[in-house]
Structure 1
Amino acid sequence: MHISQILPPDGVKVLSSISSKKRLFQDLGELAETRYAQAAPLVVEALMEREALGPTAVGHGVALPHARLDKLDRVLGLFMKLEKPLDFDAIDRQPVDLIFCLLAPGGSGVEHLKALALVSRTMRDSNVCSKLRANSDTATLHAILTEAPAIKAA
């Protein structure tokens, strides 16, 4: 699996300021509606439900919110870079500025886990994160993410 299979160029967005996690999830929902024809309120609700189980911030300014949606037929990705970091209840207490969101079919198992592992490994790469933080052009951000090597998940 490769990030280019789950993240299209128009699935990347830069936001100047977000006031809360809920507002971020609303923006993710709107992008999912625009890009993938998913109902924004359902996406927001699914992300909020997953987040209620525990924060999806993984540390070092990165969050990996994810949710399952019954109407999807494959795993889909969205990426957002925040110009002003947001408190995300991260375990390391660092605010988040890089968000890679995964949306998976309701019944998906292995594919969702493979995608989550791929994105997690990519976003743990300090060189990738440094490049993402140094750029604000959406095409460049997409290129950085999709040029990261494909990673085989167990």
Structure 2
Amino acid sequence: MELSKILKPEAVKTLTSCTSKKRLFHDLGDIAETAYGFHPGDVVDALINRESLGPTGVGHGIALPHARLADVTGVCGMFLRLEKPIDFDAVDRQPVDLIFALLAPENAGVEHLKALALVSRTLRDPDMQAKLRANADLATLHTILTEAHAQAA
């Protein structure tokens, strides 16, 4: 699995004024509608429901919200870079500014877990984090994310 297969260029955004986790989920719903054609309300509800099971802030300013949806036919990704970090109930209690959200089919088993592991490995790299935080250009962010795994593979 490659990030280039699950992350469309139009699903990469930098947000300047996100103020809360709930607002972030609404922004992700809007991006999912624009990039993948999903109903934004369904995306928001699924992300909120998944988050209620336990926070997806993994530490070091990174969150990996994910959910399963009936309308999804394959794993889809969205990446957000926040100019101002927000509280995300992360395991290290640090605010979050890099978010990679995944949407998967309701019956996705291994495929969803492989995508989550790939995203986690990619974003855990301190050099990757620095590059993502240093760039605001959307095309550059997409290239950084999709070429990182291609070079490592």
Alignment of 1:1-154 (within 5 A): 1-150=1-150
TM-score normalised per structure 1 = 0.96
TM-score normalised per structure 2 = 0.97
Deviation, structure 1 residue 20: 0.8
Structure 1 residue runs of 5 or longer lacking an equivalent are none
Once residues 77 and 10 of structure 1 are traced to their aligned partners in structure 2, the CA distance between those partners, rounded to angstroms, is 10
> Which stretches of structure 1, 4 residues or longer, exceed 3 Å deviation after superposition?
none
Once residues 112 and 76 of structure 2 are traced to their aligned partners in structure 1, the CA distance between those partners, rounded to angstroms, is 9
- 2:50 is paired with a residue of what secondary structure? helix
- 1:74 is paired with a residue of what secondary structure? coil
Give aligned pairs, total. Answer: 152
User: What is the alpha-carbon root mean square deviation over aligned residues?
Assistant: 1.0
Deviation, structure 1 residue 147: 1.0
State, as a whole percentage, how many aligned pairs show the same letter: 65
Q: Partner letter of residue 31 of structure 1?
A: I
